[in-house]
Every structure is written in structure tokens, then in C-alpha cells.
């Protein structure tokens, strides 16, 4: 599978988009299958001329004789998802940072209350037409320029400072009750705010943030005990329990089998 992860060149987009990648149709007959692990991004995948099916914790993509553009959004998952390509197809996948996609949509509250994966193409009248045009650009740099220009045209400034401050507190391991008290709201209202803006609970956000931060800091520690301590797990059993819940494997097995140096952390099957 041929893909490369790109960080947006546009300064505004970099604030809200972690990156995106293209998958090229290289005419290979090989089946590609991998696990993708929980994160706090909103992930929009756009497929050209393909059929996409969804089962519990599995997404399957096959080429289609019908010309089409299909896009879906995943905004919250707490277990690994298996992605299976019957054959390589054309795809663009974009990773929006927490609260990032909210700057590009007007109906994100409805979206975050919808069953996943959420059909995405209907959010913009010109989406399918423009994505089809971008897929047909052969020069990658021009393709990137047009892709970023499209998303920049959808950007709208919105003030999310209150929620951003709450997320900082969630990432700092402050108690939920103390975060609510600091913001003069009830715990129930705090939960509603996070669900409304991110489509997940404060505890899921924190659990996944700690998991991802642990991966990012792995290279800077000597062993797993130090790693769990540095990332403020209560103890070693808590560290192991969270890893098994999010990856279906122990920390030791996970780090042996996954390349943590790449941006999009997958485990090929």
C-alpha cells in the first residue's frame, strides 16, 4: 500500500488538522489489512470508486465498477478497528485535531450524536464534485494545494476557548469534579459539554490522551515502569489495564509489534 502522511502547508489548517494521507491505486491484487488504534482525532476518509461496508470494529473497502465518491467520519472509538482493503483504491484520509473539525462544519453537534461511521459527503454541496476533481489530479503537489484550498474555503472562525481550557485540564489529570468546580458548572454539564463538542466522554478523552502521550514518550524512557510513572498512571496494573482495553494487547506486546515512529500508528495483520 503506497501512502505518505502530510502535514498541512497552510498555517491556519495546521492549527486544526494534524495531517492527511493519500492512498494510490497501484493495481496490486494483494489484500491489505491492519489495526488502527484509538485516538482523539476526528478522521474523515474519502474513497473514490469504491464500496465500503461496516461491521463491528471492522471497515472493509473494495473497488466498485460504479463511479462514486464516498466519505465517512469516525469521531470516537475505544477499541482497535480493523481496516481491510480487498485491493488498493484511491483514498484521502484527513485527521482533525480535537475541536478542529468543528471549525469547518455548522452541524457538528448533530454529527457527534449520530451513529458511527457518519456519512460525510452530504455536509457540503460541492464536496463530491471537488473531491472527484482532486482525485483526478496526477501531480501530487498540485493535488495537495487543491485539497488544502478546499478545506480552507470551508474554515470559519469560532471561539472554543472555554472548551479548549477544559481539555487542557483533562490532559493535566485534574479531577473531573475539580474541573467542573473551576468552570462553575456541574459534573453533569461538563459531561454534556464534552459530548457536544467531541462526541465522547471526558473520561474517554483523558484515557485516550494518556495512551497516545505514552506512545509519544516511549523513546525517552528506559523501561515500561518508568513509562507508566511518567504518564501518571496510578500504578502498573492501571497501565496494563488501559493498554489492554485500547489495544487488545499488553504494553510489552504492543511496543514490540507496532512502529511508533510513524504518524499514523497501525499494526499490519
Give me the residue label for grid cell 495546521: 14
pLDDT of residue 180: 97
Residue 205 belongs to some domain of the structure: yes
Q: Check whether 111 has a pLDDT greater than 60.
A: yes
User: What mean pLDDT is predicted for residues 238-256?
Assistant: 90
pLDDT of residue 1: 63
pLDDT of residue 106: 87
Residue 103 belongs to some domain of the structure: yes
Percent of the chain with pLDDT over 70: 94
pLDDT of residue 231: 81
pLDDT of residue 156: 96
Higher local confidence (pLDDT), 222 or 113: 113
User: What mean pLDDT is predicted for residues 132-160?
Assistant: 97
Instruction: Please give the mean pLDDT across all residues of the chain.
Output: 90
Residue 142 belongs to some domain of the structure: yes
What is the residue range of 30's domain? 3-154
| Three-class secondary structure assignment of the chain | CCEEEECCCCHHHHHHEEEEEEECCCCCCCCEEEEECCCCCEEEEEEECEEEEEECCEEEEEECCCCCEEEEEECCCCCCEEEEECCCCEEEEEEECCCCHHHCCCCHHHHCCCCCCEECHHHCCCHHHHHHHHHCCCCHHHHHHHHHHHHHHHCCCCCCHHHHHHHHHHHCCCCHHHHHHHCCCCHHHHHHHHHHHHCCCHHHHHHHHHHHHHHHHHHHCCCHHHHHHHCCCCCHHHHHHHHHHHHCCCHHHHHHHCCCCCCCCEEEC
Does residue 205 share a domain with residue 150? no
Q: What is the pLDDT of residues 180-235, one digit of tens each?
A: 999 999 999 999 999 999 999 999 999 999 999 998 888 787 788 888 878 878 78
Q: Check whether 161 has a pLDDT greater than 50.
A: yes
pLDDT of residue 222: 77
Please state, in angstroms and rounded to a whole number, the distance separating the CA atoms of residues 68 and 90.
11
Does residue 220 share a domain with residue 141? no
The pTM is what?
Answer: 0.92
Cβ atoms 28, 46 nearer than 8 A: no
Does residue 208 share a domain with residue 145? no
Cβ atoms 18, 96 nearer than 8 A: yes
pLDDT of residue 269: 39
Does residue 67 share a domain with residue 31? yes
Structural domain total, the chain: 2
Q: How confident is the model at residue 145 (pLDDT cuts 50, 70, 90)?
A: very high
Last residue of a domain, one of 121, 154, 187: 154
Does residue 111 share a domain with residue 71? yes
Does residue 107 share a domain with residue 168? no
Q: How confident is the model at residue 35 (pLDDT cuts 50, 70, 90)?
A: confident
Give me the residue label for grid cell 467520519: 73
pLDDT of residue 70: 94
Q: What is the CATH number of the domain that holds 203?
A: 1.10.10.60
Does residue 86 share a domain with residue 8? yes
Q: Check whether 129 has a pLDDT greater than 80.
A: yes
pLDDT of residue 25: 74
Q: How confident is the model at residue 27 (pLDDT cuts 50, 70, 90)?
A: low
Amino acid at each position: 500500500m503506497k501512502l505518505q502522511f502530510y502535514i498541512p502547508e497552510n498555517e491556519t489548517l495546521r492549527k486544526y488538522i494534524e495531517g492527511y494521507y493519500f492512498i494510490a491505486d497501484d493495481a496490486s491484487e494483494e489484500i491489505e489489512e491492519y489495526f488502527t488504534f484509538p485516538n482523539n482525532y476526528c478522521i474523515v476518509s474519502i474513497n473514490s470508486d469504491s464500496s465500503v461496508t461496516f461491521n463491528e470494529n471492522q471497515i472493509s473497502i473494495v473497488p466498485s465498477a460504479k463511479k462514486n465518491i464516498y466519505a465517512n467520519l469516525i469521531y470516537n472509538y475505544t477499541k482497535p478497528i480493523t481496516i481491510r482493503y480487498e485491493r488498493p483504491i484511491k483514498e484521502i484520509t484527513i485527521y482533525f485535531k480535537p475541536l478542529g473539525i468543528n471549525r469547518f462544519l455548522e452541524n457538528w453537534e448533530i454529527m457527534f450524536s449520530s451513529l458511527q461511521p457518519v456519512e460525510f459527503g452530504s455536509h457540503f454541496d460541492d464536496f463530491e464534485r471537488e473531491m472527484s476533481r482532486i482525485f483526478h489530479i496526477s501531480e501530487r503537489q498540485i493535488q495537495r494545494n487543491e485539497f488544502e484550498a478546499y478545506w480552507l474555503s470551508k474554515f470559519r472562525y469560532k471561539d472554543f476557548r472555554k472548551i479548549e481550557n477544559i481539555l487542557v485540564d483533562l490532559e493535566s489529570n485534574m479531577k473531573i469534579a475539580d474541573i467542573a468546580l473551576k468552570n462553575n458548572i456541574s459534573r453533569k454539564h461538563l459531561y454534556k459539554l464534552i459530548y457536544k463538542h467531541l462526541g465522547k466522554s471526558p473520561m474517554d478523552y483523558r484515557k485516550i490522551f494518556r495512551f497516545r502521550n505514552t506512545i509519544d514518550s516511549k523513546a525517552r524512557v528506559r523501561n515500561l515502569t518508568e513509562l507508566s510513572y511518567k504518564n501518571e498512571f496510578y500504578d502498573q496494573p492501571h497501565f496494563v489495564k488501559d493498554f489492554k482495553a485500547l489495544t487488545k494487547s499488553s504494553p510489552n506486546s504492543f511496543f514490540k509489534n507496532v512502529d511508533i515512529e510513524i504518524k499514523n500508528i497501525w499494526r499490519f495483520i
